Structure 1
């Protein structure tokens, strides 16, 4: 039986939204953890289909304070990493019970990859395997590596205008990254094809896709924008100022990392280093040669082939040699 539904479910103390899609409810269940923080991506699937609903019953959950889960009256003190881990486990239990599964698959993109590994670390028993897309490891270092790459690239291109915009900022180790830098960083990475997508799609175009979707009402689109700002303001520094190579040195389930070759939004090199270091029953690292930060939208057919061949069979035959 096919499902394509939009529902609100009580998760801990708050009604939270999710979209559930599948071509067949007998398929394994996958919980997708969106990035941001605060940026659900269900609308992107309309423009860039992932094909995940052909292999799984997919839950596109909109996290506490994000998208249709935003509520102006909610307790904003509960938008913190531990609460979101607790919410992830509660959503997992809802899906396991509803679809009668002992375990489900977990996939995290960008910020969602932080939430993913922390959740699995706390309770691995309810998950079959973990897939990280644009895997965050040490985002403070990643930001500085990205900054250095962009400065060098603009120097080579003799692009004085964009170089000047970047040089206004000096990223000092140990100090918070200014929010004002993030907008400049995003625009610069888009110009160089090393940001959200290698095809240089701009945040304006992404915003048009998200705000143009018919999946959200007008009120929900306003919620989306408010939730995105709120989540970034609360969570970004906490996520950035932690080294997950140290915080999460091992996981007790198979780990698969999908990383775009051109990803400087979340360092490709650091993600590869993490794949070498992490202890898990299986670790597969996969380079997507035509992607930056979003292989799930940029090279979906390759991702699906990897999942069909390796993830669902608990093997790493297609993985890179690292």
Structure 2
């Protein structure tokens, strides 16, 4: 398994990266180049491509562009139309926190507008993670905050040097503005629905970052030789970590064999 830290992120971050290379076409080409390197190094005609959250936005575009490199594509927390997902998340969280009687969070959410017309307010971007994690619908069902759930575990990771760990966050802050607005408004379901390789979606029932209903609607409109949808009933954004036994079973039984025996039934 290869965990790739893309151009401008983590171990691939460098202050010398030309800003003009931070484009989606270049990111897609980078992914294909890495895939070709791995295929050659390990003597494989095809490898498996898995994209998670933001990685699913790029990954599914790579799958469409270069299907001959891959056994299959797995989209975990598959993005479909992120701005609509943000609007739905805001409405959901407002309802949850109202039902809980959390007047403070309700006031903050009401002062942090999100809309299809105006996009995302700065107040929403500052609030969204905390509101999601408090409701159990963020990165994982049980994460308390980005600090305790992501920052500190990364900081304790021995596989990275101190410089690598710092660059994880430098890269995140530097890279995101190049892609965020375009990704938000891109409705993949209107332009990318035909694939020449098997397509699998791993979706958490409680995911409000990449809305589960939108992922399902996108999946239903896809035409692929084989396609399987897997709703993880106790997961949010990260089924592979939240329900590893089921995810592993699906990967070994269905994905690597091009079958869908463990998939959810179609409506």
Task: Name the TM-score class by shorter chain.
Answer: over 0.9
Match of 1:198 in 2: 141
Secondary structure, aligned partner of 2:3 = strand
Instruction: Measure how far apart 1:200 and its partner are.
Output: 3.0
1:234 aligned onto 2:171: no
Secondary structure, aligned partner of 2:2 = strand
Match of 2:117 in 1: 174
TM-score (norm. length: structure 1)? 0.80
Please give the root-mean-square deviation of Cα atoms over the aligned residues, in Å: 1.1
Secondary structure, aligned partner of 1:106 = strand
**Between structures 1 and 2, the one with greater helix share:** 2
Instruction: Measure how far apart 1:300 and its partner are.
Output: 0.7
Instruction: Measure how far apart 1:152 and its partner are.
Output: 0.6
Contact 1:192 1:200 in 2 (8 A): no
Alignment of 1:44-83 (within 5 A): 58-83=1-26
Instruction: Measure how far apart 1:172 and its partner are.
Output: 2.4
Contact 2:113 2:124 in 1 (8 A): no
Secondary structure, aligned partner of 1:59 = coil
Alignment of 1:38-49 (within 5 A): none
Residue 272 of structure 1, aligned match among 189, 209, 216: 216
Q: Deviations over 1:125-165 (max 9, x none)?
A: 11110001000001010000010000011111111011111
Instruction: Measure how far apart 1:179 and its partner are.
Output: 4.4
Match of 1:87 in 2: 30
Contact 2:112 2:122 in 1 (8 A): no
Contact 1:155 1:163 in 2 (8 A): yes
Instruction: Measure how far apart 1:194 and its partner are.
Output: 0.5
Residue 261 of structure 1, aligned match among 196, 202, 205: 205
Match of 2:78 in 1: 135
Instruction: Measure how far apart 1:121 and its partner are.
Output: 1.1
Which runs of 5 or more structure 1 residues have no equivalent in the other structure? 1-57
**Between structures 1 and 2, the one with greater strand share:** 1
TM-score (norm. length: structure 2)? 0.96
1:249 aligned onto 2:193: yes
Of 175-184 and 306-315, deviating more is 175-184
Instruction: Measure how far apart 1:285 and its partner are.
Output: 0.4
Which runs of 5 or more structure 2 residues have no equivalent in the other structure? none
Contact 2:73 2:198 in 1 (8 A): yes
